[in-house]
Amino acid sequence: MASLRDIKNRITSTKKTSQITKAMQMVSAAKMTRAEMNAKAFVPYMEKIQDVTASIALGSSDASHPMLVSRPVKKTGYVVITSDRGLAGAYNSSILRAVNQTIQKRHKSNDEFVIIAVGRTALDFFKGKGMNVILDIVGVADQPSFAEIKDIASKTVGMFSDETFDELFIYYSHYVSAIQQDVTSKKILPLTDISSSDKLASYEFEPSAEEILKVLLPQYAESLIYGALLDSKASEHASRMTAMKSATDNANDLINSLSLSYNRARQAAITQEITEIVGGAAALE
Amino acid sequence: MKTIKVSVVTPDGPVYEADVEMVSTKAESGELGILAGHVPMVAPLQIGAVRLKNGDQTDFVAVNGGFLEVRPDQVTILAQSAEQANEIDLERAKLARERAEQRLNDQKRDNVDIRRAELALQRAVNRVNVSERNV
């Protein structure tokens, strides 16, 4: 049985750990609220751009654009969004597992696909597996602005245009609620399934539908990537919060059971002392 | 005078929302003025200022590209970034302008860099102009 001092030490260190995890939990909770707000602020933009894109792409049949057309797939691009830091429960591992499984299933060799990694975890994972990471970005802020992600988004869209790859998927964690986040995969390019609300307005185009598509479609694809990033940031903080909450709970359980054994040990020591004294006194009589 | 609802939306959230009498801005194909009851229309915008006139008051918004969607009762401007005149950081815009000019004078760069520097210069100049109401 562990000595009194050992137990005491363990209690103190567990308490300190729980203080840290508790603090991290509260920080993540605050960040999650902000991230959720950012994701909400983005919704009007996304809805609008989707409406306009759909009404142009679906409305005028004569308008065509390379981004709307599927071509034979020689190479596939995967955008994988993870966090830079760990301690977020299954957040990173579930995304990476999903991507890895898809890749194993669809591709026979590493030449058939390229990876665009957002976040250090994804970068290290795919590099470690010897896969072809063509673009990466680490150190994305907790509240990313569009300007921050613009560079990688437009480069990614540009790579589709210059046929570095022929289709593009994005893998990220979709924020459902504070306790539920789902790994989601979406096909971004080519833009074959643009959904729209029922009311399609018929527009005049100035100067022409083609010219507008040229501006609009890259912007639309970039917004899809940015939207996914905002969504996954909210998930990251939510899942870190949950992970830290359960860590704190575990620490508290541990402290409780340790205190119990500490008290038992202390009681045992006292009892033993009394017995010894009584025994000693009896021997003297 | 009849008014039309205008909203300027960016990925970072709405920047401007109000009812105004007239919207005028520079589209890729030229200057554009929109009053209430305009035919539905879509047009890409240049980097430039959007002037929103309401009575004798005129608001300015700097937009970096994007496009304009017009419906009879509403105008929506979708841009990747936009700022109202009084929200522009003038010092920063001036610094950005200097940086871009410097880069353009530096001849050794390739085409991509020059194109980017030009765009950055346009944006910075636009911000400075809008901030000083000089449009």
Query: Do both B103 and B117 map to the same domain?
Result: yes
What pLDDT score was predicted for residue A25? 95
Is residue B30 pLDDT above 80, yes or no? yes
Q: Is the ipTM of this complex over 0.85?
A: no
- Per-position DSSP letters for B60-75, written without gaps between them: EEEE-S-EEEEETTEE
Q: In this complex, is the C-beta atom of A151 within 8 Å of any C-beta atom belonging to chain B?
A: no
Most B-contacting residue of A40, A42, A45, A145 (CB-CB within 10 A), to test interface? A45
- Per-position DSSP letters for B99-120, written without gaps between them: HHHHHHH-TTS-HHHHHHHHHH
Query: Do both B100 and B62 map to the same domain?
Result: no
Burial of A182 (0-12, 13-18, 19+ CB in 10 A): exposed
Please state, in angstroms and rounded to a whole number, the distance separating the CA atoms of residues A103 and A97: 10
Q: Which residue segment(s) compose the domain that B107 sits in? A: 88-131
Residues of chain A with pLDDT under 70: 1, 59-63, 193-201
B43:A206 CB<8 A: yes
Is residue B74 pLDDT above 60, yes or no? yes
Q: Each residue of A53-110: pLDDT tens digit?
A: 887 777 655 557 788 888 888 899 999 999 998 888 889 999 999 999 999 999 888 8
Q: In this complex, is the C-beta atom of A154 within 8 Å of any C-beta atom belonging to chain B?
A: no
Nearest to B29 among A207, A222, A223 (CB): A207
- What residues does A123 pair with on adjacent strands? none
| Amino acid residing at A139 | G
Peptide bond between residue A190 and the one before it cis (omega within 30 degrees of 0): yes
Q: Are A91 and A240 in contact (CB under 8 A)?
A: yes
Query: Do both B81 and B92 map to the same domain?
Result: no
Instruction: State the pairing for strand pair A113-118/A76-81.
Output: parallel
Query: Do both B51 and B97 map to the same domain?
Result: no
Query: Do both B72 and B93 map to the same domain?
Result: no
Query: Do both B71 and B100 map to the same domain?
Result: no
What pLDDT score was predicted for residue B108? 66
CA distances from B65 to A87, B38, B54, B90 (A): 40, 21, 23, 19
Q: Are A155 and A221 in contact (CB under 8 A)?
A: no
- In this structure, what CATH number is given to the domain that contains residue B123? 1.20.5.440
- Into how many domains does chain B fold? 2
What pLDDT score was predicted for residue B135? 61
Task: Place B115 in a pLDDT band, splitting at 50, 70 and 90.
Answer: confident
Query: Do both B15 and B51 map to the same domain?
Result: yes
Structure tokens at A66: 């390379």
List the strands of the sheet with B4-10, edge to edge.
A204-205, B41-44, B67-71, B74-78, B4-10, B13-20
Q: What residue of B is the nearest CA neighbor of A225?
A: B11
Q: If residue A281 lies in a helix (H) or strand (E), which one and from where to where?
A: helix A209-284
Most A-contacting residue of B5, B39, B42 (CB-CB within 10 A), to test interface? B42
- In this structure, what CATH number is given to the domain that contains residue B62? 2.60.15.10
Q: Each residue of A178-202: pLDDT tens digit?
A: 888 999 998 888 887 666 555 556 7
In chain A, what are the domain boundaries? 4-24+243-284, 31-240
Class of domain A31-240: alpha beta
What pLDDT score was predicted for residue A281? 94
Query: Do both B68 and B31 map to the same domain?
Result: yes
> In chain B, which residues have their Cβ closer than 8 Å to the Cβ of A49?
78
Query: Do both B95 and B42 map to the same domain?
Result: no
pTM for the whole structure = 0.83
What pLDDT score was predicted for residue A125? 94
| Amino acid residing at A120 | R
Query: Do both B17 and B55 map to the same domain?
Result: yes
Query: Do both B70 and B102 map to the same domain?
Result: no
Half-sphere exposure of A177 (CA within 13 A, CB side): 2
Average confidence (pLDDT) over B58-68: 88
CATH number assigned to the domain covering A4-24+243-284: 1.10.287.80
A203:B67 CB<8 A: no
A48:B28 CB<8 A: no
Neighbours of A89 (CB within 10 A): 20
Half-sphere exposure of A44 (CA within 13 A, CB side): 17
What pLDDT score was predicted for residue A210? 79
> In chain B, which residues have their Cβ closer than 8 Å to the Cβ of A44?
7, 9, 13-14
Residue B116 sits at φ, ψ, to 5 deg, of -65, -40
Query: Do both B66 and B104 map to the same domain?
Result: no
